[in-house]
Amino acid sequence: KMEKLMIAPCGINCSVCIAHLRDKNQCHGCRRTTGYKMNSCLRCVISNCQKLQATESGFCYECKDFPCKRLRQLDKRYRTNYNTSLIENLQSIQQNGLSAFLKNEEQKWTCERCGERLSIHRKHCLHCN
């Protein structure tokens, strides 16, 4: 599914990442096999995890080690810096399905003023500030 390509195995919504939203060298997300990808995505321990390859869903929640140390570290960084829990994102996808998660994300990351996509990595709208 096309929409799944923009949700990383760790629960990051790549479509609200600053690297995806920028005009130059736009990252296409860690699941894509073509197009530009950030170095951090290319060498990501989580998206390159062998145990992830064995899952049917392609998401970390299916792993017997969920949440692993690396995911807990990344989750802490995202909760602290961006007020978003990747572990909660994954639990939401697991419990409610990807479509419901994406619908919620669409509302959460749309600027109320101009209607453009917000970035998880910025406190202001990139379009209307």
Tens of pLDDT, residues 69-114: 999 999 999 999 999 999 999 999 999 999 999 999 999 999 999 9
Rounded to 5 degrees, φ, ψ at 5 are -60, -25
pLDDT of 3 over the 80 cut:
no
Q: Hey, is 35 helix, strand or coil?
A: coil
pTM: 0.89
| pLDDT score, position 2 | 53
Q: What is the mean pLDDT of residues 51-66?
A: 93
Mean pLDDT of 59-74: 95
User: Rounded to an integer, what distance in angstroms lies between the CA atom of residue 46 and that of residue 32?
Assistant: 15
The three-class DSSP label of residue 111 is: coil
Task: Give the pLDDT of residue 102.
Answer: 93
Q: Name the β-bridge partners of 7.
A: 13
For 25, left (φ over 0), alpha (ψ -120 to 50), or beta?
Answer: left
**Helix, strand, or coil here: 43?**
coil
Q: Is the pLDDT of residue 27 over 70?
A: yes
Token pair for 28: 């296409």
Is 37 in contact with 26 (CB distance < 8 Å)? no
Percent of the chain at pLDDT above 90?
68
Residue 87 is predicted with a pLDDT of 98
